Amino acid sequence: MEKQQEIIPIFFATDDNYAPYLCVALKSITENCNKNFNYKVHILNTGLAKGLSEKYIQMIKNFETDYLKIEFNDVSKIIAPIKELLNKSLRDYYSDTTFYRIFIPKMFPEYHKVLYLDCDIVVLGDISELYHTDLKDNYLGAVTDEVVPSHPVLIRYVEEAVGVPNKDYFCAGIILFNLDAMREQKVDEKFIGLLSNYNLTTVGQDQDYLNVICKGHVTYLHPGWDKQANKVPYKDKLYLIHYNMFSKPWRYKKVPYEKYFWKYAKKTPFYKEMLNSRKNYTKAQRDDDAARGAGMIELSLSIINSDRTFKKILENKTIDEAIAQTAKTKATKPATTKTKTKAKTTTAKTTKTKKAK
């Protein structure tokens, strides 16, 4: 009997805006992966009408091979109860697709371990090697963030507001999830609990939440598996390039490691469109990027100086204790109000009776 090939599950989340760059990522994966494995790519989205059009679905499907299959998964129902909260917590250029990864453990009980990848990447190494990293009992595997160390205010933000040492704060764009551990520790419930009871202002969106919830339970991967496109000197091996933040080759020239992006972009139907996008990227758009970068620093300072930070609400408490405490306080407020109202009514009646006498 022929031995069945192992299936390696890979997840992306996208809408029409990032579908072309997802195709570049897929092309780089298919050209460099070990063909002795089967790959199942799941594209998390919010359906045809809201997020991903039929046009892009068909174009993405064209990147299937004999060993890599693509499936589209609508997350609308699972995020519906907290959709409004997610939208309220979004910051400038983010969309709610950034939160989809947190619900993978609940949506896909058949998997024990999965890879989650952002769309703005190219994979230069064999992705199966990353998947086979031993996470032991840790919740996830990731690479430390390269943006935070670039500015002293951001370092202060992660340490004083998020409550995670700068050296341990990871980038959530490339993650190897241990779904068994995440289910056991109810990571999604902790996220919903923190979001619904506190809904804190954050700089890193779900990245901050994951760093808080998974603190002390992270396997730190080789930095080459999430080499972020910046000018920091790097001489080690490159396995995956991440064009995060504003370092987008389809917007700017001379982006570090851009040659790898264009190598695979040329092999997609979007190559000319991307070149035109860069050519037509206006000064106003560049100024807006610069303003958002400055705004991120200002927001970080504002959060550091506020009374509502992860570090403060979790001081001397576990996440579950903090959630329970706030939920209990919320539950008692209506009862207190009702009692006061009743007392006022009683007083009013007594006064009326006295006046009648």
Residue 24 has a pLDDT of: 98
| Cβ–Cβ < 8 Å for 140, 102 | no
Domain residue limits, the chain: 7-315
Model confidence band, residue 259 (pLDDT cutoffs 50, 70, 90):
very high
**Which position has the token pair 């007392």?**
343
pLDDT of residue 343: 39
- Supply the mean pLDDT for the chain: 87
pLDDT at residue number 198: 85
Phi, psi of 154 (to 5 degrees): -70, -35
**What pLDDT band is residue 119 in, cutting at 50, 70 and 90?**
very high
Statement: residue 348 has pLDDT above 50: no
- For 269-291, write each residue's pLDDT tens digit: 999 999 999 999 999 999 999 99
Report residue 338 as tokens: 């009702």
Alpha helix ranges (H) inside the chain: 19-32, 54-61, 76-79, 83-89, 104-107, 127-131, 152-156, 179-184, 187-197, 206-213, 258-265, 271-279, 283-304, 310-313, 319-356
Give tens-digit pLDDT for 161-217: 999 999 999 999 999 999 999 999 999 999 989 888 888 889 998 899 999 999 999
Q: Is the pLDDT of residue 3 over 50?
A: no
Per-residue confidence at 15, pLDDT binned at 50, 70, 90? confident
Q: In this model, does residue 235 exceed pLDDT 80?
A: yes
pLDDT at 151: 95
Tally of residues, the chain: 357
Tell me how far apart the alpha carbons of residues 7 and 67 are, in angstroms, rounded to a whole number: 9
Please tell me the predicted confidence (pLDDT) of residue 326. 81
> Element (H or E) spanning 17, and its range?
none
Task: Report the percentage of the chain scoring pLDDT > 70.
Answer: 84
For domain 7-315, the CATH superfamily is Spore Coat Polysaccharide Biosynthesis Protein SpsA; Chain A (3.90.550.10)
pLDDT confidence bin for 332, thresholds 50/70/90: low
As a whole number of angstroms, the distance between CA 266 and CA 264 comes to 5
Closest CA to 175 of 149, 215, 198, 142: 142
H-type helices in 33-175, by residue range?
54-61, 76-79, 83-89, 104-107, 127-131, 152-156
The amino acid sitting at 139 is Y
> Which residue's entry shows tokens 């064999």?
126
Residue 9, CA atoms < 13 Å, CB-side half-sphere: 19
Q: Is the pLDDT of residue 347 over 50?
A: no
pLDDT at 152 over 80: yes
Digit-coded pLDDT (tens) for 20-77: 999 999 999 999 999 999 999 999 988 654 567 888 999 999 999 999 999 999 888 8
* Maximum pairwise Cα distance, the chain: 99
Is residue 105 helix, strand or coil? helix
Question: Is the CA virtual torsion 34, 207, 268, 246 positive or negative?
Answer: negative
